[in-house]
Amino acid sequence: MPSDSSDAINPKPASVHTSAVNAAHGAMLNFDDPGDWERATRGLIASHPTGVIHHGNHVAWDIGARDFLRGPEAETAPDTVHPSLWRQGRLNSIHGLFEVADGVWQARGYDISNLTFIAGDSGWVLVDVLTSGATAAACLELANRTLGHRPVTAVIYTHSHADHFGGILGVTSEEAVAAGDVRIIAPEGFLREAVSENIIAGPAMARRSGYMFGSLLPASIHGHVDSGLGVVTPSAPPGLIAPTEEVATTGTELDVDGIRIVFQNTPGGEAPAEMNFLFPDKRLLCMAENCTHTMHNALTPRGAQVRDTLGWSKYINEALDLFIDQTETLFSTHHWPRFGQDDAREFLIKQRDMYRWLHDQTMRLANHGHTATEIAEQLKLPDCFSAQSHTREYYGTVSHNSKAVYQRYLGWFDGNPANLNPHPPEASGRRYVDAIGGSAEVLRQAEAAMQTGDYRWAAQLLNHLVFAEPDNQAARLLQADTFEQLGYQAESGPWRNFYLTGAMELRAGGPQSVGRGGRAMTNALTIDMIFDALGVRLQAEAVEGKTVTLNWQFPDIDERHVLGLSNCALHHRQDCVDEHADATLTLDKRTLGLILTGSLPALEAIEQGLLRIEGDGQAVLTLLGSLDQFEGNFAISEP
């Protein structure tokens, strides 16, 4: 519900409490390692001529929006930004094409992730390709213009997160890959995990990602400053081309365009499918996203599978054993490299020990009977980590990571029967408001909490009132003010973005719609994966008591499938035909993708001859007409 007052929509200044909190943090920071600035700027040889990258008619990236982080006047953090996050934002705003090692360069600062260029015998070997084709194409153009044009001969996807493969269509094409001109190498299980994270849970994750990365927040000292892991995700859609080969075993060695690479498979670490690798002839180690210049997420706030911090720590230890004696330069797919074997070793040791500490101390307290919220309140970073910038809480935090470790072993339930079946937020909100004494009393208590700087308690009180009375404008605006101060105090980029996006939506209303998209990714999926995603869209209540069996024929890929509906759920068989099917559908796989992403209505596909149906058309309608549509603009900070 938007506010009628423009003054209510505008950001507020830091309160005296927030100013004091941030000043205290600034006085305590003792890790201002000048080495970070040297590492982040070392090897700069060129930059994008304008810093503005377009996707069609709109701006996908504008590095100039971060100018407030640059220059002598930015050396002191404003009181609306945690001074540690401000420092991280300044480092991440450094951009350009950097020489990393002999024959190796990185484009940094034009996406949330990095694109690494390695000169092979006949062309470029690329490590990760950013989030979108727009930013990836711009970085490839920058490298070719600066270093001399080379064709792309191979792409390595380090792992299954979209900001590492989504730009593939900006550096190559499906046709070039199909023709064998470009190899795409990925860890085992890459495609399955990319689908699981970006398709099955895609609409919900996309909406929550808008909060986590603050994509709709204006870049300013009152708005978006940094995402911790990098600046921000670009405003352009991802694509996907399936790998041509996968690495399944640690120790696998490949020759990629004349470059020798030794791989370490690390499934279930930072991502369900991920790998580190060494270039032994270059004494160069890539740690993918398993080690970056921040504490990472054990469970990302946007939503994903809980990560195994114990296994993660062990993978880093294994990398030390396997590779450190052959390493002079270490790089990751975010942030800046580490130069020199000693620096690389100490970096890996601290990263290893941080995830092990997080795992072990969480479970030590859990085994004493402490709940997830109690553990999160007790655990604090020890000096050995808080004194190092790369192990601070810019992205992940001890608070939400310890809860993730607890969830991995013990689940969402804390064992207290009172929490086994609580009322949902709207119902509990009404009861809390009544118990407290009505909305006026909730507002009075929340205002009193804010006057003392207890914003956490004010946010909890007001959350009940907003969910009980979503049209209560005073509650909405006071909750927005509360979120804003919590955001200003957050060291974590995602925490700041969550708070400030929530404040913005409470004041101005949420997004009207979010485009579904997905076509570029759908093209890379198998039919089995597409049907898995289809099952998530089935409105079970609309097909209760109905059974349907459909044959699907895809001439372009020479595949036959049977999709069945029974007991309010879908089931699927591959490489077969059901003689008793209600109908047979014949279409190309690409046409199926267009229909399912809403780009081509089924009736138009029939009229254009792209879809042919033989048999009971009503049976087809029963299935396709019962599919839900996800707009992706559901409420988060309100009912």
In this predicted model, what pLDDT tens digit does every residue of 370-380 receive, in sequence order?
999 999 999 99
Residue among 146, 166, 313 at smallest CA distance from 236: 166
Contacts of residue 17, defined as CB under 8 A and 6 or more positions apart, other chains included, come to 452, 453, 455, 485
Read off the pLDDT band of 494 (50, 70, 90). Answer: very high
From 481, 525, 519, select the one nearest 499 (Cα to Cα).
Answer: 481
Tell me how crowded residue 514 is: count the other CB atoms within 10 A of its CB: 16
* Listed residue (361, 391, 193, 186) closest to 288, CA to CA: 186
Give the strand pairing for 124-127 and 253-256: unpaired
Structure tokens given for 164: 């590492």
Contact criterion met (CB below 8 Å) for 602 and 570: no
pLDDT of residue 516: 47
pLDDT digits (tens, 9 = 90+) for 138-179: 999 999 999 999 999 999 999 999 999 999 999 999 999 999
Residue 438 CB partners (closer than 8 Å, separation 6+):
none
Phi and psi at residue 185, in whole multiples of 5°?
Answer: -110, 130
Question: Contact at 8 Å (CB) between 600 and 617?
Answer: no
Give the ranges where 68-182 is alpha helix by DSSP (H). 83-92, 133-147, 174-178
Q: What is the DSSP string of 214-263?
A: TTTS-BSTTSB---SSSS---SS-------SEEE-STT-EEEETTEEEEE
Q: 110 φ, ψ to 5°? A: -115, 15
What's the rounded mean pLDDT across residues 100-118?
A: 98
| CA neighbor of 241 nearest in space, from 582, 568, 512, 525 | 525
What pLDDT does 316 receive? 98
Which pLDDT band holds residue 4 (cuts at 50, 70, 90)? very low
Helix ranges, 247-340 (H): 309-323
Amino acid at 552: W
Contact 26, 108 (CB under 8 A): no
- Picking from 505, 442, 429, the residue whose alpha carbon sits closest to that of residue 469 is 429
pLDDT at position 527 is 93
Query: What 3-state DSSP class applies to 154?
Result: strand
Pairwise CA distance, residues 88 & 494, whole Å:
13
pLDDT tens figures, 585-623: 999 999 998 888 778 888 899 999 999 999 999 999 999
Tokens encoding 177: 């890959």
Q: Is the pLDDT confidence value at 5 over 60? A: no
Percent of the chain with pLDDT over 90: 87
Backbone phi, psi, residue 124, to 5°: -85, 135
Question: Over 90: is that where the pLDDT of 315 sits?
Answer: yes
All domains in the chain, ordered by first residue = 34-410 (3.60.15.30), 422-489 (1.25.40.880), 526-624 (3.30.1050.10)
What is the model's pLDDT at position 593?
A: 86
pLDDT value for 33: 67
Pairing assessment for the beta strands 96-101 and 329-331 based on DSSP bridges: unpaired
- The DSSP letter of residue 12 is P
State the pLDDT at residue 518.
52
pLDDT band (50, 70, 90) for residue 630? confident
Q: Would you state the structure tokens that stand for residue 453, as one six-digit string?
A: 């700087």
Average of per-residue pLDDT across 529-544: 93
Question: Is residue 515 over pLDDT 60?
Answer: no
In 3D, which of 430, 519, 495 has the Cα closest to residue 468? 430
Contact (Cβ atoms closer than 8 angstroms) between residue 245 and residue 310: no
Structure tokens at 483: 């979120």
Whole-angstrom distance, CA of residue 509 vs CA of residue 503: 10
Structural contact between residues 189 and 267, judged by C-beta atoms closer than 8 angstroms: yes
Q: How confident is the model over 437-483, as pLDDT tens digits?
A: 999 999 999 999 999 999 999 999 999 999 999 999 999 999 999 99
Instruction: Name residues whose C-beta falls within 8 Å of residue 24's C-beta, 6 or more positions apart in sequence.
Output: none
- Cβ atoms within 10 A of the Cβ of 413, count? 13
Give SS3 for 423.
Answer: coil
Rounded to the nearest 10°, the torsion over CA 264, 268, 274, 275 is -10
Alpha helix ranges (H) inside 537-601: 589-596
Percent pLDDT > 70 in the chain is 97
pLDDT tens digits along 232-277: 999 999 999 999 999 999 999 999 999 999 999 999 999 999 999 9
> Residue 31's pLDDT is what?
63
Q: What pLDDT score does 41 carry?
A: 97
pLDDT one-digit tens code per residue, 15-51:
999 999 999 999 888 765 678 999 999 999 999 999 9
